[in-house]
């Protein structure tokens, strides 16, 4: 997920307009001054519900990162952008799990701050990719050529195609399961099918009672827009049940803070409630007035009809989860739209065959 990305920059808008502009537009919009009015004043932006204290991540000091143990020699590290990575110190070197570019060189600084006092080696020998998204592994290139990079087979296929020097292709790949043993430690990697991305993996630390799965459950937050801009919604919906089958106390989600089993269950409940509400909306919102209002304009009919479905789906869910999950009033409508479309098009809910 790319929560730090800006939607449409002034530059890309200008580029788009440059491609499509009619000549007369140039006389209407003087160069350089045309788009200043696009940026709203902060006082014009909408209000949202306050963030519950339990949903907040740790305070970030002047060093720019926060690092703390999860259990014994397994640590987590986060930054002001709210990205989360993890690392395991061993007698033979460090195993790093994800390398968010927002942390970049702070990853090694965080590792040094832990390993140097303990006398354990600080060199990263292995780097595990949770999935191919650049916002979680884009600092991989900083660790040079001598690191063993591990990921899913699909991660290798996608990264080979992208040819991004920030994200070197994994050296070791697996299809279903891989047991990583380094310096007397054990980590179990598993693939349970596509969900957030086609290559998202579960990373289980059996001796640390921790489970890492990135960009699916954001502890004590609703998902980011469009269900964390996920690729496989059917797979995504099934993930909490799969996660809860693992033995763990700490959930490493890739964002904001560490989570608990209860927070994974709460995410599952939010998704169940969103699904039930979407089904009720599909069952009860009548398409007729939209078709009557915009005869012949198929997009106007579907736009307004789906806007009504989203509003009907989101309203009770926002009411139930405001104060329970942060951002419920911010992204539930976006999440509702994606879930409604998955229900209709993938699950076939509400679709009848003409006799």
Q: Which residues would be at the binding site for Zn ion (CB under 5 A)? A: 1, 133, 215
Q: In the bound complex, what is the minimum distance in angstroms from residue 212's beta carbon to Zn ion?
A: 13
Whichever of 7 and 32 has its CB closer to Zn ion, that residue is 7
Q: In the bound complex, what is the minimum distance in angstroms from residue 104's beta carbon to Zn ion?
A: 18
Q: In the bound complex, what is the minimum distance in angstroms from residue 196's beta carbon to Zn ion?
A: 6
Q: In the bound complex, what is the minimum distance in angstroms from residue 243's beta carbon to Zn ion?
A: 16
Element (H, E) at 244: helix 233-244
Whichever of 90 and 130 has its CB closer to Zn ion, that residue is 130
| Angstrom distance (rounded) from CA 355 to CA 347 | 20
Taking CB atoms, the residue at the shortest distance from Zn ion is: 133
| Angstrom distance (rounded) from CA 75 to CA 118 | 13
Q: In the bound complex, what is the minimum distance in angstroms from residue 229's beta carbon to Zn ion?
A: 7
Whichever of 133 and 257 has its CB closer to Zn ion, that residue is 133
Nearest to 137 by CA among 109, 103, 112: 103
268 phi and psi, to 5 degrees? Answer: -60, -40
Whichever of 1 and 85 has its CB closer to Zn ion, that residue is 1
Q: How far from 110 is each of 137, 236, 350, CA to CA, in Å?
A: 16, 32, 52
Q: In the bound complex, what is the minimum distance in angstroms from residue 189's beta carbon to Zn ion?
A: 17
| Angstrom distance (rounded) from CA 348 to CA 354 | 14
Whether the Cβ atoms of residue 258 and residue 70 lie closer than 8 Å to each other: yes
Q: In sequence order, what E strands does the chain have?
A: 65-71, 74-79, 84-90, 93-97, 124-128, 148-152, 172-174, 177-182, 185-190, 202-205, 210-212, 250-252, 258-259
Whichever of 133 and 167 has its CB closer to Zn ion, that residue is 133
| Angstrom distance (rounded) from CA 86 to CA 251 | 11
13 phi and psi, to 5 degrees? Answer: -65, -40
Nearest to 129 by CA among 105, 157, 110: 157
Q: In the bound complex, what is the minimum distance in angstroms from residue 197's beta carbon to Zn ion?
A: 6
Whichever of 126 and 136 has its CB closer to Zn ion, that residue is 136
Whichever of 93 and 259 has its CB closer to Zn ion, that residue is 259
Whichever of 97 and 305 has its CB closer to Zn ion, that residue is 97
Whether the Cβ atoms of residue 65 and residue 73 lie closer than 8 Å to each other: no
| Angstrom distance (rounded) from CA 162 to CA 37 | 36
Q: In the bound complex, what is the minimum distance in angstroms from residue 136's beta carbon to Zn ion?
A: 6
């Amino acid at each position: 997920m790319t929560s730090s990305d800006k939607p449409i920059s002034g530059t890309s808008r200008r580029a788009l307009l440059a491609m499509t502009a009619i000549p007369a537009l140039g006389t209407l919009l003087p160069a350089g001054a045309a788009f200043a009015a696009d940026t709203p004043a902060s006082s014009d932006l909408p209000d949202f519900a306050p963030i519950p204290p339990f949903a907040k991540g740790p305070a970030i000091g002047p060093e720019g990162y926060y690092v703390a143990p999860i259990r014994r020699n397994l640590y987590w590290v986060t930054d002001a952008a709210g990205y989360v990575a993890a690392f395991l110190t061993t007698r033979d070197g460090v195993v790093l799990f994800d390398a968010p570019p927002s942390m970049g060189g702070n990853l090694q600084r965080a590792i040094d701050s832990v390993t140097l006092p303990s006398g354990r080696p600080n060199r990263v020998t292995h780097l595990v990719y949770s999935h191919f998204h650049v916002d979680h592994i884009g600092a991989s290139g900083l660790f040079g050529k001598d690191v063993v990079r591990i990921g899913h087979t699909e991660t290798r296929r996608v990264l080979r195609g992208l040819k991004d020097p920030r994200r070197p292709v994994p050296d070791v790949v697996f299809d279903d399961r891989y047991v990583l043993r380094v310096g007397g430690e054990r980590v179990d990697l598993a693939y349970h099918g596509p969900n957030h991305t086609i290559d998202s993996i579960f990373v289980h630390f059996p001796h640390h009672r921790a489970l890492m799965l990135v960009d699916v459950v954001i502890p004590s937050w609703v998902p980011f827009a469009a269900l964390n801009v996920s690729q496989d919604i059917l797979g995504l919906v099934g993930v909490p049940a799969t996660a809860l089958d693992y033995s763990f106390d700490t959930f490493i989600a890739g964002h904001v803070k560490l989570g608990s089993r209860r927070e994974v269950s709460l995410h599952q409940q939010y998704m169940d409630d969103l699904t039930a509400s979407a089904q009720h909306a599909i069952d009860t919102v009548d398409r007729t007035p939209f078709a009557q209002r915009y005869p012949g304009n198929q997009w106007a009919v579907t736009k307004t009809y789906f806007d009504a479905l989203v509003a009907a789906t989101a309203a009770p869910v926002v009411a139930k989860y405001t104060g329970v999950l942060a951002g419920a009033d911010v992204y539930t409508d976006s999440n509702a739209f994606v879930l409604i479309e998955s229900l209709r098009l993938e699950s076939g809910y509400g679709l009848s065959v003409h006799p």
